[in-house]
Structure 1
Amino acid sequence: MSDYQETLDLGSYAALGDSFTEGLNDPGPGGRHAGWADRLAGMLAERRPEHDFRYANLAVRGRLLDQIVSEQVPKVRALRPDLVTLCAGGNDILRPGSDPDLIAEHFEAAVLELRESAGTVLICTGFDTRNVPVLRHLRGKIATYNAHLRAVADRNGLAVGDLWSLRAVHDRRAWSEDRLHLSPEGHQRVALLAARALGLPVEADPEAAWPPAPVLTAADQRRENLQWARTFLLPWVGRRLRGESSGDHVEAKRPELLPL
């Protein structure tokens, strides 16, 4: 059976992870966030006979890998979806002194558990942060973690959404004002990339060229960077210093497999 045929047979999907998969900064129906996982679920549902497709999104912003493993992975045993996506570890990598080798070991243990309860597992690498203020200094650590993730995928027969190689997200318009979460168009590009990784034919190209953008002067860029630091970076650092998370008291938006 081809990858395309296998994708058509996917009748249920559970998304696991943090704010990236929860879909922050991509407004959706009912005041909730949408995001790339919701968009991917829509693509899968459109190709399901009789539209009997079910979807759960267990992702919660701010979650570390071990929290995802303890809170979200066990629920997959009960849901037993045809497809699971696990995109996790980014919040761990951002922490000072974190070890990408150890994080990857925990990630693979989670994958092994998921494979017992899901037909197909897709994982995502981390983004290339070379153009991101502050985060560019973590680029080597992210690259190390990504190398581990690709090895995990090879060993365990996983599909991979390779975000590191997605050049379209190097454009500032792929990101929201906080520069930490994707814009709606950025989420759409990732959804298309994930669909391709699953063998799903897509009409749009995730790497399609962006329209011409206004050119900012050096002074404009400095002003933007200062505003971003005051509005987003300093509060983010403050939460880290206080041991707080943006996901404190936040529940998963779709905890059960329900029709779209």
Structure 2
Amino acid sequence: MAGNVRHADQNGRRRFVALGDSFTEGVGDRNETLPNGVRGWADRVAEKLAKAEPGWEYANLAVRSKRLRHVVEEQMDRAVAMGPTLITLYAGGNDILDFGTDMDQLMAEYERLVARLAATGATLVLFTGYDVKVSAVLEPFKKRNTLYNERVRELAAKYGAVLVDYWCLDAYHDRRMWASDRLHMSKAGHKYMAAQVLDHLGVAHKFSPKDWEPPQRLKLRDWERRQRRWVNDWVLPLFGRKLRGVTLGDTLRPRWPEPVKVPRKAGLRKLAERQAAAAGSAASGDADSAESNARTNGGTQP
């Protein structure tokens, strides 16, 4: 484990807390056995931390579609109260895609969040945003993304944070690193991101880039078909939600809202299965108790 990672607090506790939006929640890396139906790079990092050094605990407060203000209001204080020794933060990407965003105001709020998290004494990991080449529709937002990345780099240096410079990772030029919505990483993309984070923290792992054949050039007809499917499946629903003022994260809870001890061998999937089984048993017990009470109450009625 690298020296820049704070192994444990004064009580010997090792705790990783992840904050943010869909990037950190794990959207694009589907796994129906895990909370919210996704896995993602943060889960993988937590599991590798536990294998390298037993005793790590992990909480993931990230929820898809959250803006920076939501991360501040809903995640910041909870994360600080957990006493983390490692924090990851990516937030602000959804704000960049919102019309009317004041970038100076956004980055001032981002710095206040970074300052609060850095003050915990935990190792803090920050990320730049990637220049996703999905459509000419998003090109006007490139200037905002560039400004965001410049400020994140400056703040990482100012607050002594570890910086994962997503913008510079050439592997993401391959479209197979992206999910079908073209905005979130695929399973391969999340694995690669986990490897990047672990490399920056000096943690051993066996993640390796996909050894793909060069992507085949699409025929015009196939390209047009994919474009229509993408617009119908993702772009139109996205703008529809914006018009209605709703997001995909409105009804979701954080995937790991409280710190859990990461099993060194079984991983988080087994932990999720045990939690689901325990919840099912509790629900069954409550139902049995309610039925018993109903019979008892029914028997005493005149």
CA contact (8 A) 1:18 1:60 kept: yes
**Which residue matches 1:236?**
238
Worse-matched range after superposition: 102-111 or 114-123? 114-123
* TM-score, structure 2 as length reference: 0.79
Q: Which amino acid aligns with 1:36?
A: W
1:209: Cα distance to partner?
5.6
Q: Unaligned 5+ residue runs, structure 2?
A: 9-13, 263-302
Matched, 1:159 2:162: yes
CA contact (8 A) 1:14 1:56 kept: yes
Q: Work out which of the two has the higher radius of gyration on C-alpha atoms and give 1 or 2.
A: 2
**Which residue matches 1:33?**
38
* TM-score, structure 1 as length reference: 0.92
Q: Specify the SS of the correspondent of 2:17.
A: strand
Superposed CA deviations along residues 77-134 of structure 1, whole A, max 9, x for unmatched, are 22011100010000000001212222111111001111222511101110012x2213
The structure 2 residue matched to 1:250, chosen from 249, 252, 261, is: 252
Inter-partner Cα distance in structure 1 for 2:21 and 2:95: 11
Matched, 1:66 2:64: no
Inter-partner Cα distance in structure 1 for 2:6 and 2:255: 25
Q: How many residues align?
A: 254
The structure 1 residue matched to 2:114, chosen from 111, 115, 131, is: 111
1:42: Cα distance to partner?
1.4
**Which residue matches 2:7?**
9
Q: Unaligned 5+ residue runs, structure 1?
A: none
Inter-partner Cα distance in structure 1 for 2:229 and 2:206: 38
Inter-partner Cα distance in structure 2 for 1:204 and 1:18: 23
**Which residue matches 2:274?**
none
Q: Specify the SS of the correspondent of 1:143.
A: helix
Superposed CA deviations along residues 160-186 of structure 1, whole A, max 9, x for unmatched, are 111100111111111111112111001
Root-mean-square deviation (CA), in Å? 1.8
Q: Which amino acid aligns with 1:217?
A: K
CA contact (8 A) 2:6 2:85 kept: no
Q: Specify the SS of the correspondent of 2:185.
A: coil
**Which residue matches 2:212?**
210
Worse-matched range after superposition: 210-219 or 182-191? 210-219
Inter-partner Cα distance in structure 1 for 2:207 and 2:191: 10
Q: Percent same amino acid among aligned pairs?
A: 38
The structure 1 residue matched to 2:131, chosen from 128, 131, 135, is: 128
CA contact (8 A) 2:128 2:152 kept: yes
- Structure 1 runs (4+) greater than 6 angstroms displaced: none
Inter-partner Cα distance in structure 1 for 2:27 and 2:207: 23
1:62: Cα distance to partner?
0.8
Inter-partner Cα distance in structure 2 for 1:120 and 1:53: 14
**Which residue matches 2:176?**
173
The structure 1 residue matched to 2:195, chosen from 192, 196, 204, is: 192
CA contact (8 A) 1:7 1:200 kept: no
1:221: Cα distance to partner?
1.1
1:5: Cα distance to partner?
3.7
Q: Which amino acid aligns with 1:9?
A: H
**Kindly tell me: are residues 56 and 259 of structure 1, through their superposed partners in 2, closer, same or farther at Cα, counting changes over 3 Å?**
same
1:8: Cα distance to partner?
7.8
Q: Specify the SS of the correspondent of 1:30.
A: coil
1:6: Cα distance to partner?
4.4
CA contact (8 A) 2:61 2:257 kept: yes
Q: Specify the SS of the correspondent of 2:2.
A: helix
